[in-house]
Amino acid sequence: MSDKRTEISELGEFGLIDHLNQKVKIKNSSSLKGIGDDAAIIESGDKVKVVSTDLLLEGVHFDLAYAPLPHVGFKAVAVNVSDIAAMNAIPKQITVSIALSNRFSVEAVDALYSGIHAACEHYGVDLVGGDTTASRSGLVISITAIGEAKKEEISYRSGAKVNDILCVTGDLGGALVGLQILEREKQVYLANPDMKPDLEKYTLVTARQLKPDARMDIIHELKDLEVVPTSMMDISDGLASEIFHICKASGVGATIYEDKLPIDKQTFDTAVELNLDPITCVLNGGEDYELLFTIDQKDFAKLEKHPDIHFIGHITKAEEGKYLVTKSGTAVQIKAQGWKHF
Ligand code: ADP
Ligand code: MG
- Give Cβ neighbours of residue 142 (< 8 Å, ≥ 6 apart): 53, 54, 55, 56, 96, 97, 98
pLDDT value of position 203: 95
Length of the chain: 342
Q: Using CA atoms, how far apart are residues 149 and 159, in angstroms rounded to an integer? A: 17
| Number of neighbours of residue 25 by Cβ within 10 angstroms | 6
Which whole number is the average pLDDT over 187-212?
90
Nearest residue (by CA) to ligand 1, atom 26, is 35
Q: ∠ at Cα 59 (54, 65), nearest 5°?
A: 120
Element (DSSP H or E) covering residue 252: strand 252-257
More confidently predicted of 324 and 3: 324
Residues near ligand 1 with C-beta < 6 Å? 17, 20, 35-38, 54, 83, 236
Ramachandran region of residue 50, left (φ > 0), alpha (ψ -120 to 50) or beta? beta
Phi, psi of 315 (to 5 degrees): -90, 140
Report whether 282 contacts 324 (CB < 8 A). Answer: no
Helices (H) and strands (E) in the chain, counts: 10, 13
What confidence tens digit (pLDDT) does each residue in 82-109 have? 999 999 999 999 999 999 999 999 999 9
- Nearest Cα residue to 127 out of 74, 87, 86: 74
Cα(159)–Cα(295) distance, integer angstroms: 10
pLDDT band, very low/low/confident/very high, at 341 (cuts 50, 70, 90): low
Output the CA 16–ligand 1 centroid distance in Å: 10
Q: What is the pLDDT of residue 337?
A: 67
What sign for the dihedral angle of Cα 268, 271, 276, 281? Answer: negative
Q: Does the pLDDT of residue 342 top 80, yes or no?
A: no
Per-residue CA distances from 171 to 42, 60, 259, 304 (Å): 32, 25, 13, 17
Out of 89-103, 166-180, 193-207, which region has the weakest mean confidence (pLDDT)? 193-207
**233 Cα to the center of ligand 1, angstroms:** 13
Choice from 16, 20, 35, 80 to test ligand 1 binding pocket (greatest atom count within 8 A of CB): 35
How confident is the model at residue 1, as a pLDDT?
60
CB atoms within 10 A of CB 235: 26
Which run of H or E residues covers position 169? strand 165-169
pLDDT surpasses 60 at 225: yes
- Which has the minimum average pLDDT: 11-15, 223-227, 255-259? 11-15
DSSP E strands in 101-139: the ranges are: 126-134
Distance in angstroms (rounded) separating the CA atoms of residues 168 and 134? 40
The whole-angstrom distance between residue 81's C-alpha and the CA centroid of its chain comes to 10
Ligand nearest to the CA of 21: 1
Using the mean position of ligand 1's atoms as its centre, give its distance from the Cα of residue 75 in Å. Answer: 18
| pLDDT confidence of residue 200 | 87
What percentage of residues in the chain have a pLDDT greater than 70?
Answer: 98
Query: What is the rounded average pLDDT for all residues in the chain?
Result: 95
In the predicted model, is pLDDT for residue 195 greater than 90?
A: no
